[in-house]
Amino acid sequence: MIFGPLRSAVDFVGLVSLNLRDTLFYVIAGRAYGQPVRLTAVSQQVLLSGLQAIPIVILLCGIVGVMLAIQGMQTLSIFGAEQFINVGLAVSIPKEFSPLIVGIVVAGRSGSQITSRVGSMGLNGELDGLTVMGIAPHRFVDVPTLLGLLVSVPILVVIGDFAALGLAGLYASTALGMSFHAFMDQLIELISLADYLLGISKGVVFGVLIGGIALAFGRSVAGGADDLGRKTTSSVVVCIATIIAVDALYSILGQL
Amino acid sequence: MSLLRVDQLTGGYNGHVVIDGCSMQVDPGEVVVIMGGSGSGKSTFLKHLIGLKPPMSGSVELNSEDLYSGSMNDRYRRLSHIGVAFQMGALVSSLSIFDNVALPLRETTDLPEDVIEVMVRLKLEFVELLDKQDLLPSELSGGMLKRAAVARALARDPKLVFMDEPSAGLDPVVASALDDLILKIKDALGVSVVVVTHELESAFKIASRIVVLDRGFIIFDGSVDAIRASDNPRIQALINRTAEPMAFDAEEHYRRIMGLPEG
């Protein structure tokens, strides 16, 4: 009874891995085989999954930053240590919250968009149309999507860092009666380069995972509109669950 | 030299044979019509011919090269020398008609953009869609969509073009105009065309040669005059549009209706 879903999960992981392998192949050797990766297509994907997501990333990361500052100060006030809120913000936002919020936003926006686009391309025969024109669908659809996410998600993490730290700093400095500039100077000094780079590296990993999972779900659409809707929903759910699981894995490995 | 040579091709789905030992060829300047009733295996046969489905056995040669030998990238290279117009167009829905026709040129050649623009306009003018170049596929009628698919199939000046059911779902006037377009492709551009259809009238009008598929086998390969003169009862049934009488088994009929297992 358990073997059916387990086998499906293993099959799916295999499909994602094969997609990623083919993508890597076309990035490295595409031109030699007459299948060059077009920078225009990659930049379009950066625009779609990156630039257009900036407002919602600023909004959500900013709100989470303020919430962290409020909750943190309330907790620290028990010990009369509200002024140490900057330590908590400097550790948790760049390393943990910003990549996580960005990952969830991109999974919701781009994950669903990628799955529904690739799925409907398959249903409409567009992928077959590309094949018979001698255009590898992997190169035309998957590579720009994955490269676009690989570039845009880390950039969104950096933007999310600024929004979350900035708004958290604005709240905390006001609550502590400090100048915003002084608070931010302290906060920035407390951020370690290793934590900051770890957060950005999470952005890279999340980008590849979202792209790989969403593309694989899109490719597996068969039968019609009903399956397209089902796979799009599953894609978002699996993307978000995977991001949270991988983020937890980062934390566990960080303790070792 | 034949542009397409199919030798003893057997194919189908999941081990189930749909096409059995079919052989045919297409020479330069020919319009070959592949005909057959519903379920005869036409669509499966076409998938094997255009590189979408490796055969179980036998071979498909395009320009004397085995289509399915080597890697998938070898197949993409061979496919870039043919054109295919699908029944529903299969145009990329997010691109304009102009960009759809330009797509194979932009993606598989290193031609400069100004040359591509001229080539695309030539093809769109050829299919009389130049004034619709900025529209999306969803904004075109059925006939226009098929002509746009033809323009994309012709984009790289192939020697061989495949068309799947070009007249299906069109009114007689538009269907006849598409037949004229196919003849124009052959006469003006010197392109060989393989048309898969079940429209008799269209087949008789455009075909240099007709291949008839029946239950996965090629039962006829010859000229329009020869098919009219054929005394094969299955070909006559196809031409005269007469349904084959089915033997009625009362017991089997009862089992099917009641959903009982086969006896």
In a shared domain, residues B59 and B175: yes
Instruction: Kindly list the strands in the beta sheet with B16-26, ordered across the sheet, starting from the edge strand earlier in the chain.
Output: B16-26, B4-13, B57-62, B65-66
| Residue A107 placed within a domain | yes
Report how far Cα B119 is from the mean position of its chain's Cα atoms.
24
- Specify the pLDDT at position A33: 87
In a shared domain, residues B75 and B170: yes
Statement: residue A25 has pLDDT above 70: yes
In a shared domain, residues B65 and B175: yes
Listed as ranges, residues in chain B with pLDDT below 70 are 243-248, 262-263
- Minimal C-alpha gap between B238 and chain A (Å): 29
- Helix, strand, or coil (residue A210): helix
- Chain B partners within 8 Å of A140 (Cβ): 107
Q: Which residue has the higher pLDDT, A128 or B246?
A: A128
**Contact between A136 and B76 using a beta-carbon 8 Å cutoff:** yes
For chain B positions 23-52, those within 8 Å of chain A (CB to CB) are 50-52
- Minimal C-alpha gap between B245 and chain A (Å): 33
| Residue B120 placed within a domain | yes
What are A83's two structure tokens?
């002024």
Residue span of the structural domain in which A143 resides = 46-255
pLDDT cut 70: percent of chain A above it: 99
Residue of chain B whose Cα is closest to the Cα of A137? B76
In a shared domain, residues B69 and B134: no
Statement: residue A223 has pLDDT above 60: yes
| Residue A87 placed within a domain | yes
Would you call A177 an interface residue with chain B, using a CB distance cutoff of 8 Å? no
In a shared domain, residues B104 and B133: yes
- Chain A partners within 8 Å of B108 (Cβ): 34, 133-135
Statement: residue A201 has pLDDT above 90: yes
Range with the poorest average pLDDT among A2-6, A69-73, A123-127, B259-263: B259-263
| Residue A193 placed within a domain | yes
Strand extents, DSSP E, chain B: 4-13, 16-26, 31-35, 57-62, 65-66, 82-85, 160-164, 192-196, 209-214, 217-222
Q: Spell out the residues 6+ positions from residue B80 whose beta carbon is closer than 8 angstroms to its own.
A: A34, A133, A134, B104, B108, B156
**Contact between A136 and B93 using a beta-carbon 8 Å cutoff:** no
In a shared domain, residues B65 and B184: yes
CATH number at residue B240: 3.40.50.300
Closest CB to A132: pick one of B84, B91, B94.
Answer: B84
In a shared domain, residues B235 and B179: yes
- Specify the pLDDT at position B231: 84
Residue span of the structural domain in which B100 resides = 92-157
**Contact between B90 and A126 using a beta-carbon 8 Å cutoff:** yes
**Contact between B51 and A131 using a beta-carbon 8 Å cutoff:** yes
Long-range contacts of A186-190 (CB under 8 A, 24+ apart): A186/A86, A187/A86, A187/A89, A187/A90, A188/A90, A190/A86, A190/A87, A190/A90, A190/A91
Q: How confident is the model at residue A224 (pLDDT cuts 50, 70, 90)?
A: confident
Would you call A125 an interface residue with chain B, using a CB distance cutoff of 8 Å? yes
Q: How confident is the model at residue A4 (pLDDT cuts 50, 70, 90)?
A: confident
Would you call A128 an interface residue with chain B, using a CB distance cutoff of 8 Å? yes
pLDDT tens for each residue of A49-70: 888 999 999 999 999 999 999 9
| Residue B15 placed within a domain | yes
- Chain B partners within 8 Å of A120 (Cβ): 93
- Minimal C-alpha gap between A3 and chain B (Å): 23
**Can you tell me the ipTM of this complex?**
0.87
pLDDT tens for each residue of A95-112: 999 999 999 999 999 999
- Specify the pLDDT at position A15: 85
| Residue B173 placed within a domain | yes
Would you call A121 an interface residue with chain B, using a CB distance cutoff of 8 Å? yes
The domain tally of chain B equals 2
Residue of chain A whose Cα is closest to the Cα of B104? A133
**Contact between A131 and B82 using a beta-carbon 8 Å cutoff:** no
Would you call A35 an interface residue with chain B, using a CB distance cutoff of 8 Å? yes
Tell me the average pLDDT of chain A: 92
Would you call A78 an interface residue with chain B, using a CB distance cutoff of 8 Å? no
Q: Which residue has the higher pLDDT, B236 or A73?
A: A73
In a shared domain, residues B125 and B247: no
The domain tally of chain A equals 1
**Contact between B90 and A128 using a beta-carbon 8 Å cutoff:** yes
Return the amino acid letter for A183: F
Interface size, chain A vs chain B, as Cβ–Cβ contacts under 8 Å: 70
